Amino acid sequence: MRLIDAKHHKLLILTMGTLTRIAACHASPVFLSAKDTTAKAISLIQVAASNEANLIVFPESYIPAFPIWSALRAPSENHDLFKRMAAESIYVDGDEVDSIRATAKQLGVLVSLGFSEKARYSSATLWNSNIIIGTDGEILVHHRKLMPTFYEKLTWAPGDGHGLRVADTKFGKVGTLICGENTNPLALYTMTAQGEQIHISSWPAIWPTRMPEGVLPTPSSEVTNGIGTNGKVLSSSVTRGVSYDNVAANRTRAAAHCFEAKCFGVLCAGYLGADAIEAATSGSNTPEIISQGLQRSSRGATMFLDTTGTLLPGFTIDAETSVKEQKDFLQESEGILYVDVNLDGCVEGKQYHDIAGGYQRLDVFELKVDRRRRQPALFE
């Protein structure tokens, strides 16, 4: 790995002009503790700001946790965990968000924060939400994930279009979509149509879709030499028991958007802590199987992409020596990954494909986006 010294960094600035430094926190929450996770988030913001970061990014549903138990446990086993999730989810105008807003204002940084949001009008309606906080501490964008994906529906309600916005800041035009939303071409185009220059995609630490290979034996009565009981040939992923490849899937989606929008990409994934595995297995009828399933699932990676969708190497900063070490991504250990981007890099590609401008047939295609915030009732 290449070391980036201060002389090289200064030369880079002179060559490229003014840079925006992005810090992506590849971090675990203090599982299902809003108070302690908020304190950890503030600590990470302080570290990143001390290393001259302008934009600091957190993973999906960082406060208080991502509900990984719903992937591998039966819904009938999840009631106690859902109660804890509801109790520890936070209000967008609550103390936890206020503390992070105050920190952003004090340090003059932008913060993108994923959290599980409570509804004021319900004891159990939750959303998978993300906010972008400005350098003045104000909330610039408040987004609720449009549609919970797969087993996430056991925890979160569908959001609305209110937060499909790009924050126009002095560090660039910043937008964010949550996890599977980065599969939705209309949502992605909505961000492109607002001149997005930095696209944040937030992800969980793991996202199991089946038990990993070796955790559960495949009954011979169900599969014989790759042939199912119905006589159909099964795919290799079914016969091998392969789960979702987080890294490949996430990077594919993010890279496609970066290429089409000519924007920089920030993929920020969570980290799976031991406390998450312990909590998700507690009270299960098959704790050993659940534990193995979580530990063997594909880990998400935190990385950066350039405006062509190509991997953009980042760097870590040693807390003691301040030496920068180049890293392509963070996956197996917690940390903060940094990158310096020059927003001028968003320009050249627009000569070829400005899909919301000169390369679009606005007379042929029309997209309408409803940004109304939905409420359960309108009282007059």
145: annotated active-site residue: yes
pLDDT confidence bin for 11, thresholds 50/70/90: very low
pLDDT digits (tens, 9 = 90+) for 288-337: 999 999 999 999 999 999 999 999 999 999 999 999 999 999 999 999 99
Report the pLDDT value the prediction gives residue 215, as an integer from 0 to 100.
Answer: 85
Report the pLDDT value the prediction gives residue 238, as an integer from 0 to 100.
Answer: 40
Mean pLDDT of 196-212: 95
Phi-psi category of residue 46: left, alpha or beta, with phi > 0 → left and psi -120 to 50 → alpha: alpha
Look at 311 and 240; give whichever has higher pLDDT.
311
Share of residues in the chain with pLDDT > 90 (%): 86
Predicted TM-score (pTM) of this structure: 0.90
Report the pLDDT value the prediction gives residue 228, as an integer from 0 to 100.
Answer: 41
Return the minimum-mean-pLDDT range out of 188-192, 211-215, 321-325.
211-215
173: annotated active-site residue: no
CATH number of 3-209+244-351: 3.60.110.10
* 38/76 Cα distance (integer angstroms): 30
pLDDT of 258 over the 60 cut: yes
Report the pLDDT value the prediction gives residue 2, as an integer from 0 to 100.
Answer: 44
Catalytic hit among 96, 117, 118, 179: 179
pLDDT digits (tens, 9 = 90+) for 121-140: 999 999 999 999 999 999 99
Report the pLDDT value the prediction gives residue 311, as an integer from 0 to 100.
Answer: 98
Mean pLDDT of 152-178: 98
The structural domains of the chain, with segments of one domain joined by +, span 3-209+244-351
Catalytic hit among 40, 118, 145, 324: 145
Six token digits for residue 150: 């797969």
* 61/213 Cα distance (integer angstroms): 27
Averaged pLDDT of the chain: 91
Report the pLDDT value the prediction gives residue 18, as an integer from 0 to 100.
Answer: 79
pLDDT confidence bin for 217, thresholds 50/70/90: low
Catalytic hit among 25, 40, 60, 173: 60
* 123/85 Cα distance (integer angstroms): 11
268: annotated active-site residue: no
pLDDT digits (tens, 9 = 90+) for 262-286: 999 999 999 999 999 999 999 999 9
Report the pLDDT value the prediction gives residue 229, as an integer from 0 to 100.
Answer: 41
Look at 8 and 169; give whichever has higher pLDDT.
169
